[in-house]
Amino acid sequence: MLPHLSAAYNLARWLTRNDHDAEDVVQEAYLRAFRFFGGYRGGESRAWLLSIVRHTCYTWLQRNRTHELTEFDEETHALEADTPTPEAALLQRADQQLLRRALEELPVEFREVLILRELEGLSYKEVAEVAGVPIGTVMSRLARARLRLQQALTVCPKKGD
């Protein structure tokens, strides 16, 4: 019954990749939301709350898992010009476990835009607000994130063959 708790927990769980840590982060974020309201601009309260959750997650990651936050460089994650032959059929069959693992293995900046867009259904504008980046960046990160995911899914199963 707390506002947006499901969305907040889902985001935190995907960013920390752990139940307990997600719970700690979300609780802290909700308390923070009460204590420091500085950034609130009267917009969509879900985006506002999620931006606090995200911020709390990043602070937590910085403290506990610095290696996951290796300097994010748009260049090194540049879009590959030639994507491998797409295999729509294979993707359609991609099972849940595989999908979950592939998502978890994405760098956190990619993971978060996918979660916000695909699981929470946020608009680009809202994603931009939560992640604190311009809308153009949201679009390119989503493009890269989806390509990485596609590659992970179409390559992985073959290894097992």
Partner 1 sequence: MQRLLHGYLDGELDLVSSLEVERHLQSCQACSQAHETQQALRSAIRNSELSFEPSADFRRRVRSAVRAESRAESGNRVWPWRGLFAAASVVALMIVSLAILPALFRPAADDSLAREVVSSHVRSLMADHLTDVLSTDQHTVKPWFNGRLDFSPQVIDLSGKGYSLIGGRLDYLGNRTVAAVIYQRRQHFINLFIWPSSEPAADEKSLSRQGYNVIHWTASGMTWWAVSDLNGGELHEFASAVRTQALSVRLANQYRERERRSRY
Number of residues that bind partner 1 (CB under 8 A): 55
Amino acid found at 47: A
Which residues in 115-154 contact partner 1 (CB under 8 A)?
A: 117-119, 123-124, 139-140, 142-143, 146-147, 149-150, 153
* Alpha helices by DSSP H, the chain: 5-16, 19-35, 45-64, 88-93, 96-105, 108-114, 124-131, 135-160
Angle between helices 124-131 and 45-64 (to 10 degrees): 40
**Distance of alpha carbon 36 from alpha carbon 120, whole angstroms:** 25
DSSP character at residue 90: H
Pick from 66, 67, 73, 89 the residue near partner 1 by CB under 8 A. Answer: 89
Contact region for partner 1 (CB under 8 A) — 60-68, 69-77, 78-86? 78-86
Cβ neighbours of residue 66 under 8 Å, at least 6 residues apart? none
Q: Which of 9, 47, 53, 60 binds partner 1 (CB under 8 A)?
A: 9
Nearer to partner 1 by Cβ, of 13 and 54: the residue is 13
Member of 34, 66, 159, 161 binding partner 1 (CB under 8 A) = 34
Please, what is the angle between helix 96-105 and helix 135-160, to 10°? 130
Report the interface residues with partner 1, using CB under 8 A.
1-3, 5-6, 9-10, 13-14, 19, 22-23, 26-27, 30-31, 33-38, 40, 42, 45, 48, 79, 83, 86-89, 91-92, 94-96, 99-100, 103, 114, 117-119, 123-124, 139-140, 142-143, 146-147, 149-150, 153
